Amino acid sequence: MNAPDNLFGLVICGGESSRMGSDKGTLTYYEKPQRYHVYDLLTPLCNKVFLSCNKTQAGSISGHYLVLTDLSEFENIGPIAALLTAFNLYPEHNFLVAGCDYPFLQESDFRNFLSQAGRKCIAAAFYNSQDKYEPLLAYYSSKAGALLREHFNNKEYSLQYFLKKINAEKFIPDDPKVMISVDTPKEYVAAQALIGSVNNL
């Protein structure tokens, strides 16, 4: 599969991880920190991939990976900062976005998602059983960039609200487990054990 020239990948790892107590991007499930694992998952699907982070995290990232640090005007407003920064720097590109706290995702899940998401849609996202979008498992077209900027100018920072407002396409994966977000130490230990048992089969 040849990655489209205008599709960039964006791994979101700029959160505070307050419930986890440590940076979720540095947790290990598959022999390397999760932020690098997700980067590798997106690489075959995208023309270029970036790790999106805040200024504090930037210094700890290996030089082997491309990094986008949140621009100062977008600091401390949540994950929308990653997208606003990305579109500010690359306004003509589309972005495949993946959070670093979904350890059960595989490359095939993203392939299925991209094959079903309409190429002409403004945005599309994984959709869960609580009738909510997963804004950090999503595709945002270049058209979404200007709309997100309007969203920001109106002091609206919720990506969930943005996706609902534009009626983004919904993608329901075959296995809902891929949308499980690991946010606490207890969940991390459980996810590690489950992944380890599968890998040992």
pLDDT in tens, 181-195: 998 889 999 999 998
With 90 as the cut, is the pLDDT of residue 74 above it? yes
How far apart, in whole angstroms, are the C-alpha atoms of residue 39 and residue 5?
17
Reported in sequence order, the residue ranges of the chain that DSSP labels E, i.e. its strands, are 7-12, 48-53, 67-69, 94-99, 123-127, 133-140, 169-171
Binding residues for GTP: 12-14, 24, 70, 101
Correct CATH for 7-199 of 3.40.47.10, 3.40.605.10, 2.60.120.380, 3.90.550.10: 3.90.550.10
CA angle 193–199–201, rounded 5-degree value: 105
Whole-prediction pTM value? 0.91
pLDDT in tens, 109-168: 999 999 988 778 999 999 998 999 999 999 999 999 999 999 999 999 999 999 999 999
Q: Which is higher by pLDDT, 201 or 24?
A: 24
**What pLDDT does residue 122 have?**
96
pLDDT in tens, 43-53: 999 999 999 98
Binding residues: 12-14, 24, 70, 101
Binding residues for Mg(2+): 101
Three-state secondary-structure class, residue 117: coil
Residue ranges per structural domain of the chain: 7-199
